[in-house]
Amino acid sequence: MSDLAYGFIALDLMPMLAGVLAALCCGLLGNHLVLRQQSLMGDAISHAVLPGLVLAFLVGGTINPAYMFLGAGASAIVTVVLIQLVRRLGRVEPGAAMGVIFSVLFALGVFLLEQGNARAVDLDASCVLYGNLESLSLHWTPADTWDAFLSKATLEQIPRQIWTLLGMTGASIVFMVLFFKELRISAFDPGISTAQGINASAIQFLLMVFVAAAAVASFEAVGSILVIAMLICPAATARLLTDRMGSQILVSALAALGASVGGYFLSANAPESLVHGGSVNAAGMMAVIGGVLLVLTIIASPRHGIVARAVHRQKLSRRIAMEDLLTTLYRAREAGAPHHASGMPAVARAKSSGLVTAKNGALSLTERGLADASAIIRRHRLWEGYLVDRAGLLPDHVHAVAETLEHLDSPSPNETDAPHGDQHGKPIPPAS
C-alpha cells in the first residue's frame, strides 16, 4: 500500500465515512420533511433530543447507544406532543410553537450538561454543535498492507459511531423504500390517506421517530449543525431540480454525497492563509458546501432558477419589442406615412433577420416582415372585436387589453367570435 493511500486510510477514511453516512441519512430523510413543508420540525427535533441524550447518559453512566436512542426517542415524542399542546393551548402558529419548544428543550439539555457529571467526558456543548469527527481516527490504526488490512482485525477497529451511522442509514433507506407509497400519499393528501386506512398521523409520527434517531446517530460524530443542514439543503436542492419524488430523492442523495465528500476535502486541504489557528472543522465545512450547493441551484436551476427565469423574461421582452416594431411599421404603412426609427435594438435585430429594410432612413417591412405583422395585427383586431362583441367592453377600452393579448401564443378568436369586425373600422388582415 502506498504512503499516500495509507495516510488517507489511517487519517481521513473514518471521519469522512462518518460525515458521508450522516449526510446521506439526514439528506434522505430530509426529503420527506421538505415535501411536508416541515423542515423546521427536523430542526426542532434535532435540537430537542439533547436533554434526552444527556439524561440517558446520566442514567447509563457511559455512552450507551441503546440508552441514547431510548432517551432521544422519548425526547422526540415529548417534543411533538409539546408542540401540539403549545399550538392548541397557546393559540400560536406552528412555527412559533416549534421555535419555543426546541429552544427551551435545547437550553434544558445544555443546562443538564453543565450540571451533570457529563462535563468530564466528550459530551460537552461544543461537541453537540460541531461533533468530533477528527477523533474517529484516534483509535484506528489499520495494517499497512492490503492483505492485512482486508481482515477481521480491521473490522473490529472500526469505531462504534461508524457502525451506528451505517445501521441508521441502512434503516432509513429500508424505511423509505418500504413505505415509499405510504410516505407519498400521507404527505400529499393526508385526508384520503387516512380515509383509505393509511393513517397519516401515524406515518408522520414514524417519520419523526426516524428523524430523531438519525439526529442521535449523527450527533456524536458530526454534531447538530451538520444534521440540520443535511436535513434541509440536499432535499431543497433536489426539489428545485426535479419534479418527481423518486428522482428528487436520488438527486438529494447525490447532493448529500457531494457536500460531505467535497466539504471534507476542502477542510483537509484548506489553504493556510484562510485558516486562523489550526484547522477547519470538517462537519462545519460540509454544512457550508451543502448551503453553497443550494444557493448555486437557486441561481442556476434550469427551470426554477433565477438565471433561467431572467433569460426567459429577456427572450419574451425581445419578442414583444420585435412584434411591437412590426405592428408600428404596419400601421405606418396603412396610414401611408414613412416611419423613422433607429437606435432601438429591435430595429437592428429586425434588419438582420430580414423582416425590415431601411431606405434613406425610413424603415419598411419586407415581404416576410409584412406577413408576420399581418398575423399580429389580425390577432389584435380580432381580440378587440371579441372583447366588444362577446365580453361587453366599450370600444375605447379594448386597445390596451388587445395590445397584451396579441402577443399570446394561445389560440386567438376568429371572425365568428367577432362578427362586427374591427372596432375602429380598420380591415382585419386575412389568416395566412
Q: Which residues bind other proteins (CB under 8 A)?
A: 35, 37, 178-182, 184-185, 187-189, 191-198, 239, 242-245, 247-248
Q: In 3D, which of 421, 327, 412 has the Cα closest to residue 373?
A: 327
Element holding 331 (H helix, E strand): helix 306-335
Minimum separation from the CB atom of position 182 to other proteins (A): 7
Indicate the DSSP class of residue 415.
G
Q: Looking at beta carbons only, is 312 or 318 nearer to other proteins?
A: 312
Q: Looking at beta carbons only, is 192 or 337 nearer to other proteins?
A: 192
CA-to-CA distance for 342 and 362, rounded, in angstroms?
9
Please give the sequence-ordered ranges of beta strands (E in DSSP) within 321-366, or none if there are none.
356-359, 362-365
CA-to-CA distance for 326 and 370, rounded, in angstroms?
8
Minimum separation from the CB atom of position 195 to other proteins (A): 5
Minimum separation from the CB atom of position 247 to other proteins (A): 8
Q: Looking at beta carbons only, is 204 or 423 nearer to other proteins?
A: 204
Contact in structure between 214 and 26 (CB atoms under 8 Å): yes
CA-to-CA distance for 222 and 214, rounded, in angstroms?
11
Minimum separation from the CB atom of position 243 to other proteins (A): 4
Q: Looking at beta carbons only, is 141 or 201 nearer to other proteins?
A: 201
Q: Looking at beta carbons only, is 138 or 202 nearer to other proteins?
A: 202
C-alpha cell at 116: 451533570
Q: Looking at beta carbons only, is 343 or 411 nearer to other proteins?
A: 411
Minimum separation from the CB atom of position 177 to other proteins (A): 9
Strand, helix or coil for residue 143: coil
Minimum separation from the CB atom of position 194 to other proteins (A): 6
Burial class (CB in 10 A: 0-12, 13-18, 19+), 371: middle
CA 186 to chain centre: 20
